[in-house]
Amino acid sequence: MPVENGCGLCKVKIEDMGVVKGRDVLLENVNFEMHCGQLTAIIGTNGAGKTTLLRSILGEIRHEGTVAYESHDGKVIKNITIGYVPQHLEFDRFSPVSVMDFLLAGQSTRPVWLKPDKKIKERMLLALESVGCSGLENRMLGDLSGGEIQRVMLAQAINPIPELLILDEPVSGVDMVGAEQFYQQVSQLRKDYHMAIVMVSHDLNLVREYADTVLLINKTVLKQGDVNEVYNSAEFRNTFGGGI
Amino acid sequence: MQVIYYILEKILPFSFMEYSFMKNALIAVILITPLMGMLGTMAVNNKMAFFSDALGHSALTGIALGVVLGINNEIISMIAFGILMALVVTRVKSAGTASADTVISVFSSTAIALGLVILSVGGGFSKYSQYLIGDILSITQKEILILAITLVVAFLIWGFIYNKLLLLSINSDLAASRGVRIVLIENIFVVLVAVVVMVSIKWVGILLINSMLILPAAAARNISKNSRQYLTFSILLALFSGLAGLIVSYYLDTSAGSTIVLISAVIFFLSYFFRRRK
């Protein structure tokens, strides 16, 4: 098991993050750290700002505060590779895009209607195999099941191997077996590649089983720590009403 | 040019080939239709059918502004206004304050009304009515050259932005995470569509240009399973409708643009039933 990932990233530090849209404050004063080799789960009620937080880290929306990447010896790393798996994908299911088209489009600038580069194609076939989706390469993206789509998204997101993997409720709308499978795969990635993984999730049971650190938010960080710490806190009970 | 004429005469042994206006029209069709088929694939994927329609309507305003500003060559003012319109609509749309179709509708109606008001001053609109249905038979060699250059440039840009557009059409956050500069790519695409629409509109007509862009791609979508099939079918269907439409219109003595669109429409419905039966 490698102790270092590609660029030597050790932690992602979020400081004083805030997001305002119109007159609404979506996030304020958010401070936390994510470590490599750990799965950080973000939980909270609907509208708590979970997706907004992820999109701010991605740099997709304008925000206050900073996102800094630091190496083991405290040096700041400017650019890291980020992999992203979006929330249960809403897209046009009749769109004639094959799984291989989709994967190749994210890997190279060579238009996917030309004959693909052999090496890249082989790498993508391996990627599909690694997420348990062998044989799907010629299927239309819209013909896949929810679980298959999310695993294909994962195959895209982990090529090239990212230092930070961001997952936005990756298994909402996916059946229980598919969800469990997905979590196991992600969990394995954390071990194999020592990447930092941050995931928004609704499924508190799966979070309990797989997350190393939990962040409970509602516009700001209410509670952070390991699973037991957060799940036994008063803030957690106030948010989710005791039982899960 | 003589060489191309000669080849066309050999390939297409129709009696109308003795007229040079028909030869020019054929070359124009061979240039315009694949271009439309190509851009149409992404216009359809990105749900821009209504947008490109609005763009076509704004051609009138472009012509009108050219008249007001005293620009002799209307194609320049049309392209300039088309680009402006495309960028503004895309900007307002992404601000998300109103739904996309409402935004486009507002701009489209404003543009066409403004164009009509200016052009109809003193009752002089009739000389511009050729723009409404287009006249491909009147195309000159110099104008064909402009089309050819547009085709080559558009194809190069297309190859460069295709993968990024594809990711964008699936999910914009995902595209951003793969390093796609969303706003830039979106703008390049709408400007490309605007330029192609404006360059072709005199020959195809404001009322029909959108059908040429959308119908072949919509039909190709029904019978394709991946990007390569989609693009190939769309271009071939566009080219086929174009050539068949032009030839049929000659014998039936009908408007070429409308005949081309009608044939595309028939192909679309055939592909639709093919899909339903699958």
pTM, 2 dp: 0.86
For residue B132, count other CB atoms closer than 10 A to its CB. Answer: 14
Regarding beta strands A220-225 and A213-218, do their DSSP bridges make them parallel or antiparallel, or are they unpaired? antiparallel
Q: Which residues contact B57 (CB under 8 A, 6 or more apart)?
A: B108, B111, B112, B115, B206
CB contact under 8 A, A138 and B229: no
Contacts of A58 in chain B (CB under 8 A): 173, 176-177
All residue ranges of chain A with pLDDT < 70 are: 1-8, 88, 242-244
By Cβ distance, the residue of A60, A82, A105 closest to B166 is: A105
Tell me the three state secondary structure of residue B24. Answer: helix
For the stretch A149-199, pLDDT in tens is 888 999 999 888 888 999 988 877 777 888 888 888 888 888 888 889 999
DSSP state string for A128-153: HHHTT-TT-TTSBGGGS-HHHHHHHH
CA distance linking residue A149 with residue A58, whole number of Å: 21
Q: Which amino acid is at B9?
A: E
- Running DSSP on this structure, what letter comes out for residue A98? B
The series of mean pLDDT values per 10 residues for chain B, 278 residues long, is: 81 78 90 94 88 88 87 86 91 77 88 88 77 85 92 94 93 84 92 93 88 94 94 96 93 90 95 82
Question: What pLDDT score was predicted for residue A1?
Answer: 43
Domain boundaries, chain B: 2-277
For residue B178, count other CB atoms closer than 10 A to its CB. Answer: 18
Contacts of A157 in chain B (CB under 8 A): 177
By Cβ distance, the residue of B171, B221, B225 closest to A91 is: B171
Handedness of CA A136, A140, A141, A146 (dihedral sign): negative
Q: Which residues contact A143 (CB under 8 A, 6 or more apart)?
A: A93
Q: Helices (DSSP H) in A59-175: which residue ranges?
A: 99-105, 118-130, 146-157
The distance between the two most distant Cα atoms of chain B, rounded to a whole number of Å, is 57
> Up-side HSE of residue B19: CA atoms within 13 Å toward CB?
13
Mutate which: A50, A89, A95, A198, vs B, most B CBs within 10 A: A95
CATH topology of domain B2-277: ABC transporter involved in vitamin B12 uptake, BtuC (1.10.3470)
CB pairs under 8 A between A and B: 90
